[in-house]
Structure 1
Amino acid sequence: MKTLKYKITLLLVLVMSSLLLAACGDSAPTKEAFPSPSTNAKASEIPVGTPGPVPGTVVKFPEDEAPHNVMTEWWYYTGRLKTADGQQYGVEFVIFQGLRANFPAAYASHFSITDVQSGAFKYDQRISISDSFKAGGTEGFNLKVTAPQKADWTMQGVSGKDNLKAAMDDGSYAIDLTVNDTTGIALHGGGQFSYGPAGASYYYSRPRMSVSGTISVGGTAKQIASGQIWFDKQWGNFLPLAGGWDWFSTQLNDGSEMMFYNLRDKNNSLIQVFGTYVPPCNGACTPNQPRKIYDLETSDLTIKANGEWVSSVTGVKWPSGWTISVKEKPGIPAMTLNYKPVIQNQELDTRKTTAVVYWEGDTDISGTKDGKPIAGSGYVELTGYDIGTTNK
C-alpha cells in the first residue's frame, strides 16, 4: 500500500507541476511567446440567459463554469471575510485540475487563512485523482479533493451561486461559505487570448461576490457578517513559460474593480503586463451578464515594489508593498494606488502538491482615483522568486 500511495503521489506531483512549474523553464522565453491578448469587441454584449454562443464571443454560461477536457484548468477564490464579532480574515481556496492522455484527472488544492487579529497565516494542501471526470454540461461544477480519513474539500456552483467547504487537517481553520455574484462577469481579453507557442487560454472573473456562512477558528464556528470574494476561472491547453508573475486583484470602494499581472523571464526581466479595468455597475449589472471592461496594457501601468520581506522558512526574498500607477485613457481614470499586505508572512510552500513556493495574501489598498482619495482591498500573488534561492 505504501508503494501504491507513493506512486500515486508522484504521479500527481508530476502532472500538477507540469501545469504550474512550466513557469520555471530552463530557457528564457521570447517576447513573441506572450503576445498581447486581442480584445473581443463583443464581450460585453452577451444577453442574460443566452443558451449558446453569441457571434463575436468565446465564453458561454453556464456551460463554461463546468470542467473542460483541457490540459490546464483552475477555480480560484480569494477575498476578505468579516465575522459577527468584528474580526477580519483573508481566505484563499483553489482547485487545480490537470488532464493528460492515458491518466485519470489529477487535482491539487490549496486553502489558506490570514488571521489579521493574531497575525497568523495558516495553509494546507491536498492532491487526489478521480476516475469520474466529466466535462461540460449546464449544471456548473461539482469538485472535490479527498484525503484519507478527512472530510472532502469541495467546490460547487452554477450561475454565480457557489458553495465552498474546506478544513485544515490540524483543525485550526475551516470554511463553509456561500458566495454569490452580485455584479457580473469580467471577460479578460474578451474571454480568450493566446500565449503563442505556449497555447491559448480562456479567462474570466467574477470580481465581486458576496459572502455568507461560517469560518471556524480553533473548532469554533463564527458567522460571516460581510465580505467580498474575487473568483477567477482559467482553462485551456497552455503552459506559460515565464520565470514568474505578479498578479493583483483590486476591489475599490466606489464599486470598480481591476485585475492586472506582469510576466517575467527567469532573469526577472519583464515580458508582459496585462490587465482589465472594470468600471462601477451603477445598478446596471446582473450576475450572468458580462461587465463593460477596458484593457490595460504594458504602457498603461507602472508597478513598483516599495519594500521586501525575507521568509525565515524558505529563505525566499519577496517584494512587500507596491505602488501602482495607471495612466488615464478613454474609459480608464488616472490612478495611483498603494497595496499594503495586512501581514507580511503570507507564503505558501506547496512543493508537496504543485512543486512551487509562492506568496499570496490579503492586501489593503489606498490612494487616489481621478485625483480623489480612494480605498479598497485585494489579493496579490507572487511566483518565481524562489528560483535558485529556496531552502530545501
Structure 2
Amino acid sequence: MNVSRLLLCLNLLVAGPALSQGFAGLGTAAEGFAIPHPDHRLEFPTDHGAHPDFRIEWWYLTANLKDETGQSYGIQWTLFRSALAPGEAEGWQSPQIWMGHAGLTSATAHFSAERLARGGIGQAGVTTAPFQAWIDDWQMAGANDLSQLDLSAAGDSFSYELSARTTAPLVLQGEQGYSVKSPEGQASYYYSQPNYQIKGSLTLPSGPVAVTGDGWLDREWSSQPLSENQEGWDWFSLRFDSGDKLMGFVLRGANGAEDFRSGTWISATGEVTPLAPGVFQADPLAQVEVKGRSIPTRWKVDLPERNVSLTVEALNPQSWMDVAFAYWEGPVTVFGSHSGTGYLEMTGYE
C-alpha cells in the first residue's frame, strides 16, 4: 500500500462514514477541536505559524507566470496540516499529519506531485522566526512578515525555484479575518497576500524556463470549514489589469441545500471590501471531461455592484491534481468587463 492510500485509510478510520460530508470530510463535526470566533483578532507573525488545536490548515501560493516569449504558466505550492486530535506531541506521538501539493501548468501540460509526513519528527512543519514552511525538501521560506518568500518543489517530471516579493499589506478576508462559509455559521480564519511579484525558473521535461509574473498567498485554518450539506467549492482568485482584485467562492450545496457564495473586493489602491453573501455570482458556461469527471472549466462571473461581468477560462482544462483527495487546480484567463489572469480551484467533483 503506498503512502497516499495509507493516509486515506487512516482518515477513513478516524472519520468513519461521515467522511462523505463535504470534500475530504471537511463537513464532519469537530468535537474537541478549537473553532473560529468572530471577535478574535489575528496576530502576526504568530498566525503565520501552525494552529495545532484546529483540525485543518493550509499555506497556499499560486502564481500566474510568463516566459520571455509570452507563453503562460501557472504554479501551485501548498502545505496542509491535518490533525487527528487537538494539540501537539513529540515524535511519533504527534497527532499532526502534513501533506504537500505542488502543481505546474502550461497550455498543453499539467504536472502534480504530493508529499506526506507525520508531525513531531521534523519531516514537515512551519516556524515563524524566521518564517519557514517545509515538507521533505520542498520549502517556502523568507521574512517574518511574508514580504519576501523563496519557494521550491519538485515532482517526477518537473520542478521550480521561485522568489516572491511585495511591499503591500496583508488582506484580512471576511470580517477582519473571520470568513463565514455557510448559512449555519461554519467559518475559518483567513488572510491573503495577493500582491507578490514573482521571478525564477521552471524545469520541464524540455528543459529550464525563466519566468516572471504575479503570485497570491492564502492562509486559512478551521476545524469544520464546510457544513454537512456542502459537497465542495469553486474558488476564484482574479487579478485584473486595472490593478483591482477579486476573491470569490461558491460552496456547493448537497442534498437540496442552496449554494453559499461570498468573497472580497480589493481595489487597486489596497482598499478591502468584504462582499455580502450572495453578491458574488459564478455560474458554469462549459464543461469538459477530466479523468472521467465532468468539470466546469469556463465560467461566467458577475459582481454587479462593481460593474463586473466576466468570462473566466482555464488555461489548460486538464489541470487535475491527481493526489489522495483529488481536485482541479489551474491558472485562468479573464475577459469581459475586465481583463486579467488568476487561479481557479474546484473540489468535490466525483
Classify the TM-score, shorter chain: 0.7 to 0.9
Aligned residues of 2:94 and 2:120 also touching (Cα < 8 A): no
Q: Relative to structure 1, is the Cα distance of residues 293 and 21 closer, same or farther in structure 2, using a 3 angstrom cutoff?
A: farther
* 1:359 partner letter: W
Aligned partner of 1:180 in structure 2 is: 165
Q: Relative to structure 1, is the Cα distance of residues 349 and 139 closer, same or farther in structure 2, using a 3 angstrom cutoff?
A: same
**Of 67, 73, 97, which residue of structure 2 is paired with 1:83?**
67
Aligned partner of 1:139 in structure 2 is: 129
Q: Relative to structure 1, is the Cα distance of residues 271 and 176 closer, same or farther in structure 2, using a 3 angstrom cutoff?
A: same
3-state SS of paired residue (2:339): strand
Aligned partner of 1:339 in structure 2 is: 312
Runs of 5+ unmatched residues, structure 1: 30-36, 41-55, 147-151, 282-290, 369-373, 387-392
Q: Relative to structure 1, is the Cα distance of residues 335 and 85 closer, same or farther in structure 2, using a 3 angstrom cutoff?
A: closer
Aligned partner of 2:152 in structure 1 is: 165
* 2:190 partner letter: Y
Please report the RMSD computed on the Cα atoms of aligned residues, expressed in angstroms: 3.2
Of structures 1 and 2, the larger Rg is shown by 1
Aligned residues of 1:208 and 1:251 also touching (Cα < 8 A): no
- Distance in 1 (CA, whole Å) between partners of 2:210 and 2:50 is 31
Aligned residues of 1:164 and 1:177 also touching (Cα < 8 A): yes
Q: Relative to structure 1, is the Cα distance of residues 138 and 99 closer, same or farther in structure 2, using a 3 angstrom cutoff?
A: same
* 1:342 partner letter: L
- Distance in 2 (CA, whole Å) between partners of 1:103 and 1:9 is 20
Cα deviation 1:57-110 (Å, max 9, x = unaligned): 711222211222222110011121122354321111111011233544211111
Q: Relative to structure 1, is the Cα distance of residues 350 and 12 closer, same or farther in structure 2, using a 3 angstrom cutoff?
A: same
Superposed counterparts of 1:364-375, under 5 Å: 364-368=333-337, 374-375=338-339
Aligned partner of 1:121 in structure 2 is: 110
Aligned partner of 1:234 in structure 2 is: 220
* 1:71 partner letter: R
Superposed counterparts of 1:190-339, under 5 Å: 190-194=176-180, 200-218=187-205, 220-224=207-211, 226-241=212-227, 242-267=230-255, 269-281=257-269, 291-311=270-290, 313=291, 315-328=292-305, 333-339=306-312
CA deviation after TM superposition for structure 1 residue 382, in Å: 1.0
- Distance in 1 (CA, whole Å) between partners of 2:109 and 2:167 is 30
* 2:129 partner letter: E
Aligned residues of 2:94 and 2:118 also touching (Cα < 8 A): no
Aligned residues of 1:68 and 1:136 also touching (Cα < 8 A): no
Runs of 5+ unmatched residues, structure 2: 29-35, 86-92
CA deviation after TM superposition for structure 1 residue 272, in Å: 1.0
Q: Relative to structure 1, is the Cα distance of residues 219 and 140 closer, same or farther in structure 2, using a 3 angstrom cutoff?
A: farther
Count of aligned pairs: 325
Aligned partner of 2:47 in structure 1 is: 64
Q: TM-score, normalised by structure 2?
A: 0.82
- Distance in 1 (CA, whole Å) between partners of 2:216 and 2:21 is 25
CA deviation after TM superposition for structure 1 residue 236, in Å: 2.7
Identical amino acids, percent of aligned pairs? 27
> 185-194 vs 125-134, which deviates more?
125-134
1:383 and 2:343 matched: no
Aligned partner of 1:362 in structure 2 is: 331
Q: Relative to structure 1, is the Cα distance of residues 357 and 11 closer, same or farther in structure 2, using a 3 angstrom cutoff?
A: closer
Q: Relative to structure 1, is the Cα distance of residues 342 and 193 closer, same or farther in structure 2, using a 3 angstrom cutoff?
A: closer
Q: Relative to structure 1, is the Cα distance of residues 84 and 24 closer, same or farther in structure 2, using a 3 angstrom cutoff?
A: closer
Q: TM-score, normalised by structure 1?
A: 0.74
Aligned residues of 1:198 and 1:240 also touching (Cα < 8 A): no
* 1:61 partner letter: F
Cα deviation 1:122-154 (Å, max 9, x = unaligned): 1111211131579997525422223xxxxx111
Cα deviation 1:337-370 (Å, max 9, x = unaligned): 110111211112222xxxx2211111000111xx
Q: Relative to structure 1, is the Cα distance of residues 199 and 303 closer, same or farther in structure 2, using a 3 angstrom cutoff?
A: closer
Q: Relative to structure 1, is the Cα distance of residues 198 and 297 closer, same or farther in structure 2, using a 3 angstrom cutoff?
A: closer
CA deviation after TM superposition for structure 1 residue 192, in Å: 1.5
- Distance in 2 (CA, whole Å) between partners of 1:13 and 1:360 is 24
Q: Relative to structure 1, is the Cα distance of residues 208 and 71 closer, same or farther in structure 2, using a 3 angstrom cutoff?
A: same
* 1:250 partner letter: L
